[in-house]
Amino acid sequence: MPYQHHFADGTLIDLPLGKVVCVGRNYAEHARELNNPVPSEPLLFIKPASAVVPLSDAPLQLPAGKGKVHYECEIAVLIGKPLSGAVSSEQAHKAIKGVGLALDLTLRELQDQLKAKGHPWERAKAFDGACPLSVFIRPEQAPGLTELPLRLVINGEVRQQGSSAEMITPILSLLQQIASVFTLQPGDVVITGTPAGVGVLQPGDVLELAIPGALEQSAEVAR
Ligand code: ZN
């Protein structure tokens, strides 16, 4: 089934799926595990709507023959109102329609090659299926934006565990900085970076993603 935004209770969210704005290296420990410097301002890139698939409806199809596919579990923020130019933290807060979970799937070997050449990352990050997205909870159902816990379990083993409290650029500030670069439109999604613990996905892996206490979602990698 094609992806559409939904709340966790099944309600359809009447917003078109737009772009997905992503931030790299927003958790210092993750930047270090890939031997990357911690950036002085958010490192932004975009996945097109065509990269988005539902996280849980069907097994995730990984690209074949292109090297290792890494998982990156991230907190996703659904934008409900336009944000453009200089926006206040309060405007950014009011524009949040939902909070959910995403996988920023990455062809890591290809990304390393592109980085070495100074080329854009799209070939490694924007392919069809590169952004599985969960359903969303309403912001008032989520713990505070500055203390959202995040956890990824694969085949029963905790692989990633973090909190938005560890973000280098916190969520509202991130939205403000993104809006100053390009307009966020209703239906766009911002994925907010991944904590340490990224690794390779294997066929048949069973994933449990959670904002513990608020949202739990499972996914499976196709065999
Ligand atoms: Zn990421």
Q: What is the DSSP string of 149-190?
A: EEEEEETTEEEEEEEGGGBSS-HHHHHHHHHTTS-B-TT-EE
Strand ordering across the sheet containing 215-220: 157-163, 149-154, 206-211, 215-220
pLDDT value of residue 40: 85
Find out whether 185 and 159 touch, Cβ atoms under 8 Å: no
Q: Find the 138 Cα to ligand 1 centroid distance in Å.
A: 23
CA 43 to CA 24: how far, in whole Å?
A: 5
**Cα of 74 to ligand 1 centre, how many Å?**
7
List the domain range (segments joined by +) for residue 140: 20-220
Name the residue with tokens 């979602």: 217
Gap between the Cα atoms of 194 and 102, Å rounded: 10
For residue 2, being part of any structural domain is answered with no
Ligand 1 geometric centre to CA of 214 (Å)? 21
Q: What is the pLDDT along the chain (223 residues), one digit of tens a residue?
A: 789 999 999 999 999 999 999 999 999 888 888 888 888 899 999 999 999 999 999 999 999 999 999 999 999 999 999 999 999 999 999 999 999 999 999 999 999 999 999 999 999 999 999 999 999 999 998 889 999 999 999 999 999 999 999 999 999 999 999 999 999 999 999 999 999 999 999 999 999 999 999 999 999 999 9
Is residue 14 a part of any domain in this protein?
no
C-alpha 126 chain-centroid distance: 12
pLDDT at 36: 85
The whole-number pLDDT of residue 32 equals 86
* 187 CA to centre of ligand 1 in angstroms: 19
**pLDDT at residue number 31:** 80
Give this prediction's pTM.
0.96
Ligand 1 mean position, distance from CA 89 (Å): 23
Does 5 map to a domain?
Answer: no
Q: Looking at the domain assignment, is residue 11 inside a domain?
A: no
Asked whether residue 6 is domain-assigned, the answer is no
Which phi and psi (to 5°) does residue 194 adopt?
A: -120, 140
Whole-number Å distance, alpha carbon 104 to ligand 1 midpoint, is 5
* Tally of domains within the chain: 1
180, part of any domain: yes
Residue 29, pLDDT score: 87
Q: How far is the CA of 23 from the centre of ligand 1 (A)?
A: 6
Return the structure tokens found at 18. Answer: 């737009």
**182 CA to middle of ligand 1, Å?**
19
Instruction: Report how far residue 91's alpha carbon sits from residue 21's, in angstroms, rounded to the nearest whole number.
Output: 18
How far is ligand 1, taken at its centre, from the CA of residue 197, in Å?
12
pLDDT recorded at residue 195: 95
How remote is the CA of residue 217 from the centroid of ligand 1, in Å? 18
What is the distance in A from the centroid of ligand 1 to the CA of 194?
A: 5
State which amino acid sits at residue 17. L
Please report, for the domain that includes residue 63, its CATH number.
3.90.850.10
